[in-house]
A = this chain, B = another copy of it.
Amino acid sequence: MSITVVGSVAFDSITTPAGSRERCLGGAATYFSLAASYFTPVRVVAVVGEDFTAAEESVFRARSIDLAGLERAPGKSFFWAGNYLQSLSEAKTEQTDLNVFADFNPQIPASYEDTRFLFLANIDPVLQLRVRQALPGAQLVCGDTMNYWIHDHREALLRTLAHLDVLLINDTEARLLSGESNPLRAAKKILTLGPRALVVKHGEYGATAYLGPDLFAAESASVPSVFRAPALPLDEVIDPTGAGDSFAGGFFGYIAAQPEFTPEVLRRALFYGSVMGSFAVERFGTERLQQLTRAEIDARFAALHQITHLDPIHQIPDLKSTGSSR
């Protein structure tokens, strides 16, 4: 089933310990849609300027991503420059030019109106809510946000949160949104704000999903309310840009491709999010996400499974499950 994503399509200039790239194709909607495109068809709602050429367009077309909702506006595309020289965990922003993004007013093409899966990438929560309301048929709505909106636009953000099914943020954002430093208490508080599930990303340590009591009501008694998926330890992180959006693409792309949304689908989606995040950081910009194969994705899922899953106890010779002493 198709996903519609609204968010930024941008150019990024990036410096990391591994080198530099000028004006890579970037933006949250770009990373999200490339990652999700390996699981399900994707439709983009975004705005770009006159510097967005056939070369950039071909990156989306090669993955069969629908650009009917990509508005072309006079002027330049959103531009961001940052470096990771101090830490690979956090970018230092050197420049942000909103350009055509400053006046972004998302327009939904008629061909998107049957959207059932909607991803609201990190943009102004007022615009997120507007898109959500323009697609009343959306059955599962997943959204991201960031410190700036949590801190300076809290009221607008709270109005949007009330209409989300799944909120996907990181540790710092969860702490700031909830005002709680304990992760479990923070999650419980956020689940009272609207989202029926919360996914908190921990960077190199993976992610945790917290399921609200009404998410899978019929099964709630037997469903654990927490699930954790690790990240894959990598020999080298070339460029962390877009890791979180790629995680979101793998996570939501997998969900949209399944016949129904169940607790087990949500857990596996967390693993696929981790898989796609791990690919994103292996090359600069979207390089790695442009050229994946299904076999590579399956192999990495298997690797992540192998480094986290115990053997079933009945398969282990001479090993008592209780570990009692001899």
Contact = CB atoms under 8 A, between A and B. Distances in A.
Nearest to A230: B228
A183 B233 contact: yes
B233 A325 contact: no
A319 B258 contact: yes
A314 interface: no
A13 to B, nearest CB: 23
Interface in A288-308: 294, 298, 303, 305-308
A250 to B, nearest CB: 9
Contacts of A202: 205
Contacts of A322: 294, 298
A215 interface: no
A233 B184 contact: yes
A309 B306 contact: no
Interface in A225-274: 226-230, 233-237, 253-254, 256-260, 262, 264-265, 267-268, 271-272
A-B residue pairs, 4 tightest by C-beta: A205-B205, A40-B325, A184-B233, A228-B230
Interface of A: 1, 39-41, 88, 181-185, 187, 202, 204-206, 208, 224, 226-230, 233-237, 253-254, 256-260, 262, 264-265, 267-268, 271-272, 294, 298, 303, 305-311, 316, 318-320, 322-326
